[in-house]
Structure 1
Amino acid sequence: MTSGCSQPYQQPYPRVLCIVALKRCGCHNKRVEHLNIRCSIIGQLDIGVIISCNFSMKLGCSQCYSQPYPRILCKTAYNSIMTRLSPTQIHRTRQLAERAAACALSYYQSDYEITIKSDESPVTQADLAVSELLEKHLPAIADFPVLSEESQPEQPLWTGWETYWLIDPIDGTKHFINRTGDFCVCIALIHRNQAVFGLIIAPTTGALWLAQTADEDNDMLLEKYQNGQAVPMPTDRPEKPIVALSTKTLSKRMSILLAALPAYDWYNRGSALKYIDIAEGKASLYPKMWDTCEWDSAAGQCILACAGGGVMRFDTRDTIHYGKSASLINPHFFAYRDLSDETLVALCECYPQAVIHPRDC
């Protein structure tokens, strides 16, 4: 529709009205067979537009519901209702992720510039190009702010955002530079401090994983794609604990922590692909006893949670939350699946003795 200032004002109001109407008539689990909505703008305020809607719908239970529905609808109001992505939005996000992966690969297979950031971590032209692509197009899919590792506001605005995109354009930049293949693009949607949607794509293999947590109107979603085609998600389970580590050697710090396990194997794996390994049953534990940022973990945490695993803080034994403070540094944590409650407790109890040792000792 068009407002009085001749600017188009578009929002998916029908979904909002349908949900309200269905719940009011007590038939919110029924199928909507027919829906008519007529809207007209009757005023405008700073926070949005006032619209008058008359709508009627025929439900699968043969009941009809008709209601004139004047109310103020604005971006803030809509965002507070929209807590999950629609199938169309998920499809568009997957397509955008594939474009981002192709962009990353175009640099991976050629020469590019590398600079060092203030935290002494490397950033490449590929990081910046992928970030720019995602920041430009994600709000067109779902109109929320974008917080990227490579583009952060000077003030911690994210602490006031109810819903926002959280992205790591290239997770595993050092692996990207060393051409190990262990890097990925991570996209997450944060709603009320929780990762409710997560997508990870590995550009060198063409594998993509996405997940969305359930709410009262949506079932949980967990999917895998290979070169754009849907494939089954593996359901393997390791016979004994297998630990995925960021390092190539087993430090004293890590050995003390892993004493909580009766027996285990371990291997080196880069980037957020460790979450994928756990979700697919190739590993059962990924401990992190040094600083990481929220964009490093959000997408992987959501995918792992939908696969039956979890992420636990060592200190509080709670999960990780997002956007609650000005600092974007995660507390120390471990990601896991198929571990007993006793093992989870033992890991938390071993942590204080382990973390006092230097990271590389």
Structure 2
Amino acid sequence: MNDRHKTREIHIRGVGVGGDNPVRVQSMCNTDTRDVNATLAQIARLAEAGCEIVRLAVPDDIAANALTAIRSNTDVPLVADIHFDHRLAIMAAEAGVDALRINPGNIGGPDKVDAVVDIARDKGLPIRIGVNSGSVEKHLLEQFGGPTPEAMVESALAHVALLEKRGFEDIKISLKSSSVLNTIAAYRLLARRVDYPLHIGVTEAGTLVRGAIKSSVGLGILLWEGLGDTLRVSLTHDPVDEIGVAWEILRALGLRERGPEIVSCPTCGRTEIDLIGLTAQVEERLRGVNDVFTCAVMGCVVNGPGEAREADIGIAGGRGLGIIFRKGEVIRKVRGEENLLPEFMKELESFLQERRGN
């Protein structure tokens, strides 16, 4: 893995981004921001899953006004997502959000940029400039022959220049395309030009499986090259699932860990239990556990403990008999497939209590 690209440090409600801080996990609510209760409920679910920064769409005055109540009922760092209307950015800042996502070049002229910069500076709010391949300005599309990585970078730098001209440098930048290769190329180019923190993601990545694959490939390559200070896995799915994928990407690269790693065999002709169902149930039971350890769910009592000998705790099932093991050593036998999950959960609870010193 390459050394981390050194960027400036900014803070979003006390959460450090860039500099020597870890890569932060971010997502965006898909609720109607005007529905305060639904939005707060989703923010809570995201935070429980490990989301560190939440972005909220602010399409109109009603949504902007709802931010006051949302802010009053959660401590999670909030970013207001604004398009074109500088008034909404000012309203969001006054409502107490912790950062703004707005492109200063498309909000209506110098006086409006002045107004947004003034309140961001006064409130101590970073501004995230976000360029998508679909939002590149027409003259750049003509100059570069389409929404190329070069066009995306030039678009972002033009927005950055408007802030720098006003002495504002509390900035984070994102460049997103639905093309994995264009996304990677754009961030590589940008990293050579600026030292601002980078928010990375593959936009419009798709449904759960397709989106997770595209995001894992794109973000995995960027992170391996040392690029990225915050990330979002964009899925056409429940945003909470974005968080799980994000943490698994970070875990796979050895960058951060949260919760248990579950390893399981892919099933084969020797499998004599409902391994797929058992693994899904174990994963669900462990969803709210933040302790870092490795849990194995294997489908063969003959090879399972050996194949997963490095697991802290595991279970392997066969016809009428299952075994529970730690670090490859069998500690219990369980008879009856229906008893595998409840007995394993008992052992798992004892294991966690021991680790926690209870």
TM-score (norm 1): 0.23
Greater helix proportion: 2
TM-score (norm 2): 0.23
Greater strand proportion: 1
